Amino acid sequence: MKNETYEVMRGEGARPVKMWTKGVPVEDSARLQLANTAKMPFIYRHVAVMPDVHPGKGSTIGSVIPTLGAVIPAAVGVDIGCGMMAAKTTLTANDLPDNLGKLRGAIERAIPHGMTPKTRGYRGRDEGSWHTAPAAVDAAWGQLKDEFDVICARTPKLRNTNNYRHMGTLGSGNHFVEVCLDETGAVWFMLHSGSRGVGNAIGTHFIELAKQDMRTHFVNLPDQDLAYLSEGTRHYDDYVEAVGWAQKFARMNREVMMQNLIAAVRTVITKPFETHVEAVNCHHNYVQKERHFGKDVLVTRKGAVSARKGELGIIPGSMGARSFIVRGKGNEESFNSCSHGAGRTMSRTEAKRRFTLADHARATEGVECRKDAGVIDEIPMAYKDIDAVMHAQRDLMEVVHTLKQVVCVKG
């Protein structure tokens, strides 16, 4: 019987690729990357592809890669543990100030964001900087420091990265902080970020080690960014430990930013309110051990969210587009996964070439956000139609809440 919700791509000498992409465009370059990944000898059963799929570095963004006895560091990438956090509040639309610019300004002051100055982030209390670290940063780092010291003893070059300094910071690119309204007019806070500079350093270091291993052992690959680390080797063990730590950092980073976001809103909205009602904190760039089809396997989600039966997740749209709080259906064929967003349809360079400031202003009408040339690459038209993406994965998740942003802070 023909499956009506996903297509299967098969290649010679490769595992099947199951794609929940009906009704959304998939670039030929993404299909080639998927085919190359499916040729790797340690792929377990098949590769699952989400409807926000688009070309990435080595492995395709929007793919779920189950492996036995090996891990591909570039498939996890350098934005390790990148993900979303959302929290419903007891506020309603009527409680928001008429001047949303004041609210946006308070959030921008509370959460370091962007790339200028270069060291954008916190410093120790005695060092001084444009932001002094709040107690929440110290508390979070205190839970991570001992394990980080063990990791650095094995990989000393990681010690001098932006680790403590980037705790509680947003970054740039597609990372954001938003104030949203759901279908009932309830106010939600939502943010998107990961493990920042230290995660980037960990990913970059182990991607290069994997490539060195391939050269040492004369391993031929369909794509050099599919270089892998084999289970039982020191590099594999070190990577699994470091990537697991980076994922903890990313989750705590979002928690700290959420605390600072809530505190910032309280300086503008004096009405008492509660938060963390239906709070969700989920990764979408990560690897972890899971059990599927009777086997314990490593599952790499590169731009995908865990969607086990009953599990809550977040699928954001782009600036100006709707976002969704979803509940997983536990579809085993997708390795219990769903998409992590809308997915880009063009590069950042192409978006800047094609669209104008006037286009951006129209696309983000009604949203208090940056309207300058520095964010044109994040214009909604650079992304896939979120409604088509949601329809293509209707057997993977169900929508619990639909959110529309009214304030958006970008790095």
Measured distance CA(179)–CA(187) in Å, rounded: 7
3-state SS, one letter per residue, for the chain: CCCCCCEEECCCCCCCEEECCCCCCCCHHHHHHHHHHHCCCCECCCEEEEEEEECCCCCCEEEEEEECCEECHHHHCCCCCCEEEEEEEEEEHHHCCCCHHHHHHHHHHHCCCCCCCCCCCCECCCCCCCCECCHHHHHHHHHHHHHHHHHHHHCHHHCCCCCHHHCCCCCCCCCEEEEEECCCCEEEEEEEECCHHHHHHHHHHHHHHHHHHHHHCCCCCCCHHHCCEECCCHHHHHHHHHHHHHHHHHHHHHHHHHHHHHHHHHHHCCCCCCCCEEEEEEECEEEEEEEECCEEEEEEEECEEECCCCCEEEECCCCCCCEEEEEECCCHHHCCEEECCCCECCCHHHHHHHCCHHHHHHHCCCCECCCCHHHHHHCHHHECCHHHHHHHCCCCEEEEEEEEEEEEEEC
How far is C-alpha 82 from the chain's CA centre?
Answer: 4
Say how far apart CA 105 and CA 195 lie, in whole Å.
24
Catalytic residues: 340
